[in-house]
Amino acid sequence: MDKALDILKQYYGYSSFREGQEEIIREILNGNDVLTIMPTGGGKSICYQVPAILLEGITIVISPLISLMKDQVDNINNLGIKSAYINSSLSNIEINNILDEAARNEIKILYVAPERLESQAFLELIASINVSMVAIDEAHCVSQWGHDFRSSYRRISRVIALLRNRPIVTAFTATATDEVREDIINLLELNNPKIFISGFDRKNLKIIIEKGVNKKNYTLDYISNNRNESGIIYASTRKEVDNLYELLNSKGLQVEKYHAGLSDDYRKTAQENFIYDKCNIIIATNAFGMGIDKPNVRYVIHYNMPKNIEGYYQEIGRAGRDGEESECIMLFSPGDVQTQKYIIETATESSVRKESELSKLQTMINLVYTQDCYRKFILNYFGEQYDEKCNNCSNCEAPGELVDKSVDAQKVISCVYRMNQRFGIGMVVDVLRGSKNKKVYELGFDELSTYGIVKNYTKDALVEFINMLISHGYLNYKGEYPVLTLNKQSMEIVRGERQVFVKEQIVKKIKIEENELFTILKELRMDISREEKIPPYMIFGDSTLKELSNRMPITDEQFLDISGVGNSKLNKYGEKFMEKIKAYINENNIEVKWSFISKKNSNISFDEVLDKEKEKKKKEKNNNEEKKKSYEVTMDFIKAGSSIKEIAKERELTLVTIMSHIQQYITEGNKIDFEIPLDEFFNDEEEKMVLDAIDKVGYNKLKDIKEVVPEEITYDAIRAIVLKKVINEVNV
């Protein structure tokens, strides 16, 4: 261990090991197998790199991640330790050169992808040289119960058996349940290993889960407030990554993207730009980040809910590896559940594994809906006893008071029982709220005593309440096609032996920071309000006025960038408000720091900018005066970012007419290569029900669809869903 400390100081610059590392290294140097579960950022690589330097012979590190290999090898070589990696990113010539170096004992640590174990040339090499240790990183990949199973990991034990002298075998992972730990030991054939489990808790990470927020606006606002910090944004699909990348890029942010659909060269460049601080933000699927040792990542945003807690905890572990306080934010919407279910259904062939994946997904949903401390939930899941509140998660910090909802819970449980414990959340909600859904009547559920007994909840609120009951174990909800069933705790609630408390949020009143310009704009708003005989908030809300007074837009482009401003309001009020803002800027000799002025017009005066803007408006006016068909005008509004409701109001037309314009545009053979905001009329659950109805009755007659779906789904929603389906089919 004295030599190990010397190595640590000489190569890594540290005078002592982190908690847990010394015991692991001592066990390895004594020639024993080990299994180590240590959280991301805990220092796993030191645990096998230091012994590798001290042991005679070469250490083979098996890792599934190309990004990890390159990052680790670059670091080690930079320290003066000869190392290399072999994976699919190298040419055959490069691989042969590395094999030759290994045969000459010129390499101390060799990283290889598990697929390399199929190569005859590689097997012949390692059978002929002195392999002192085989270190298996991401060891959970060997288990089909793990969150990232790889069949190639099953070959590792057979390859080790081919070696002339059995090396020390060490296995490392950041997350593993008891079941996965057993699999690692058995399938890798570890020899009586010492198991080390470091604490999973990363106290410097603040865990935040946001439900029901506008994800795009939230992300843009968060990045705007943390513009100088490094952050990773994870999304579930490549399409979501691409869309977010385009959005952030259009705002002038230095951002990269990373997913499996991009070329190796593109991903390599993106990764290096992020690691070397050439950009602050990278948007990625979970293919990115494993093994990236970038210490100053200050935030990780999950734009969608991940499919299991293991993956989620590993990904948030990429924040704050330097021990500094960092934030981990998950933006949840119910649609995330459907996305992850679809991914599991299409990517998982084994029915046993599929059931396991769906069970893990339900645990992830339970985390989202728990009202308890998020950190406690996660640590308990990994078998670490944690009974206190962390006071560093959004649940612990949320203001609110506990309200007894035992009676509501009894109503839900009673309804599940009377429906014979055979239905999912959606049908139970319909019965409790007294829905006139055709299926409810067909099954005779309108005759139940629980029919319509919970009408004081909206549909979404009742779904959330039931999910909260599931999260706390008051109801069971499992399986490929999950149904609600009762358990011991359910019966205790019904008998009054257990109470159910819910933390009801206290809505904070937003304090508007008033400044002199805010007051001026408020007075202008009041003048317009009197003139048009409409309430002031219909012109602009206080939050919009606040943003106007702080950011001071003076062009149409800038004005449209303000939250709460669309094309119709720009055309109606923009000129009046911008006149006030311009006057205020000139009177107070204020420097306006908008990109329009500082980047596009850095060499011209403020007055010249205004002249150019006037000229631009004149040209736009002349263009608009050209006669257009009504449906073309509607499509111009949509292309400019207006919502369908805004267009209907601005043009004084009905929503049906606006939707017919979109239909006409498609009929004329035009391609839809821009976003049409139809989602404002329905949620994901309603869309699914309408699409199911369309499969049954077709979509030529809206009345037939209306009769099949719940009564709360409006004709406008049905029209919008049908139109969305038509657009998708046309684009395909």
Cα–Cα–Cα angle for 587, 589, 590, nearest 5°?
Answer: 115
Decide: pTM greater than 0.85.
Answer: no
Q: Comparing 209-223, 422-436, 624-638, which segment has the lowest mean pLDDT? A: 624-638
Tokens of 328: 């981990």
How confident is residue 732, by pLDDT bands cut at 50, 70 and 90? low
Q: How many CB atoms lie within 10 A of CB 86?
A: 20
Tokens linked to 304 = 């969608």
Quickly state the pLDDT bin for 510 (edges 50, 70, 90): very low
- Which pLDDT band, with edges at 50, 70 and 90, does 574 fall under? very high
- Which of 658, 726, 657, 724 has its CA nearest to residue 687? 724
Statement: residue 610 has pLDDT above 50 = no
pLDDT band at 268 (very low <50, low <70, confident <90, very high): confident
- How far is it, in rounded angstroms, from Cα 496 to Cα 498? 6
| Confidence at residue 131, expressed as pLDDT on a 0 to 100 scale | 92
Contacts of 230 (CB under 8 A, 6+ apart): 274, 277, 280, 281, 294, 296, 297, 298
The span from the CA of 369 to the CA of 6, in Å, is 49
Question: pLDDT value at position 69?
Answer: 78
- Write down the pLDDT at residue 110: 93
Task: Convert the pLDDT of each residue in 63-78 to its tens digit.
Answer: 877 666 777 788 788 7
Short-list 148, 137, 177, CA closest to 357: 148
Give the dihedral sign, CA 515/516/520/526. positive
Residue 375 has a pLDDT of 94
Supply the pLDDT for residue 320: 86
Strands 109-112 and 58-62: parallel
16-20, 240-244, 298-302, 389-393: segment of lowest average pLDDT? 16-20
Q: Is the pLDDT of residue 287 over 70?
A: no
What is the bridge-based pairing of β-strands 205-211 and 326-332? parallel
**How much is the average pLDDT of 378-390?**
84
Confidence of residue 146 (pLDDT cuts 50, 70, 90): low
Lowest model confidence (mean pLDDT) among 34-48, 505-519, 524-538: 505-519
| Paired tokens of 204 | 């410097």
Average pLDDT, stretch 130-144? 87
Phi, psi of 668, rounded to the nearest 5 degrees: -70, -5
pLDDT at 601: 37
Predicted local confidence at residue 24, as pLDDT: 94
Per-range mean pLDDT, top range of 258-272, 275-289, 583-597, 604-618: 258-272
If we measure between CA atoms, which residue out of 470, 489, 488 comes closest to residue 479? 470
C-alpha distance from residue 366 to each of 330, 363, 431, 601 (Å)? 14, 5, 23, 52
Amino acid in position 568: S
Q: What is the DSSP letter of 476?
A: E
Percent of the chain at pLDDT above 70?
A: 89
Has residue 647 got a pLDDT over 80? yes
What beta strand segments (E) does 514-615 contain?
none
pLDDT tier for residue 614 given thresholds of 50, 70 and 90: low
CATH topology of domain 516-607: DNA polymerase; domain 1 (1.10.150)
Q: Which residue has the higher pLDDT, 392 or 605?
A: 392
In 141-193 the beta strands, taken as DSSP E runs, fall at 168-173
pLDDT at 36: 92
pLDDT for residue 15 is more than 90: no
Q: pLDDT (tens digit, 9 = 90+) per residue, 404-462?
A: 999 999 999 999 999 999 999 999 999 999 998 889 999 999 999 999 999 888 888 89
Structural contact between residues 172 and 139, judged by C-beta atoms closer than 8 angstroms: yes
Please check the confidence at residue 613 and state whether its pLDDT lies above 80.
Answer: no
Half-sphere exposure of residue 441, counting CA atoms within 13 Å on the CB side? 9
How far is Cα 282 from Cα 270, in angstroms, rounded to an integer?
8
Average pLDDT on 306-311 reads 87
Q: Which residue has the higher pLDDT, 702 or 31?
A: 31
Helices (H), 37-136: 44-54, 66-79, 92-103, 120-128
Q: State which CATH number among 1.10.890, 1.10.10, 3.30.70, 3.30.200 fits the domain covering 630-731.
A: 1.10.10
In 188-289, which ranges are continuous DSSP H helix? 215-225, 238-250, 264-275
CATH, domain 2-197, list 3.90.920.10, 3.40.50.300, 3.40.50.2300, 3.30.70.20? 3.40.50.300
More confident residue, 14 or 86: 86
What integer pLDDT is reported at residue 223 of this predicted model?
A: 92
Residue 245 has pLDDT above 90, yes or no: yes
Q: Average per-residue pLDDT in the chain?
A: 83
Residue boundaries of the structural domains of the chain: 2-197, 205-384, 400-505, 516-607, 630-731
pLDDT tens across 186-203, in order?
988 999 999 998 777 888
Q: What pLDDT is stored for residue 625 in this prediction?
A: 39
Q: How confident is the model at residue 180 (pLDDT cuts 50, 70, 90)?
A: confident
CATH 3.30.10.20 fits 205-384, yes or no: no
pLDDT mean over 378-397: 86
Provide the pairing of β-strand 483-485 with 476-478: antiparallel
For 662-693, the pLDDT digits (tens) are 888 887 777 787 888 888 888 888 899 988 88
pLDDT at 636: 82
CATH class of the domain whose range is 400-505: mainly alpha
Structure-model confidence comparison of residues 641 and 496, the more confident one: 496
Q: Residue for token digits 């920071």? A: 513
Cross-strand pairs, 60: 110, 134
Q: In this predicted structure, what is the pLDDT of residue 385?
A: 80
- The mean pLDDT value for 373-378 works out to 93
- What per-residue confidence (pLDDT) applies to 626? 44
Q: Is the pLDDT of residue 244 over 90?
A: yes
Domains 2-197 and 205-384 equal at CATH topology level:
yes
pLDDT of 372 over the 80 cut: yes
Tell me: pLDDT of 508 over 50.
Answer: no
Assess whether pLDDT exceeds 70 at residue 602. no
**pLDDT above 60 (res 279):** yes
What is the pLDDT at residue 509?
Answer: 37
Measured between alpha carbons, how far is 151 from 608 in angstroms, rounded to an integer? Answer: 66
- Taking CB atoms within 8 Å and a gap of at least 24, the contacts of 46-49 are 46/8, 46/12, 46/17, 46/18, 46/21, 47/21, 47/170, 47/172, 48/133, 48/135, 48/170, 48/172, 49/76, 49/81, 49/109
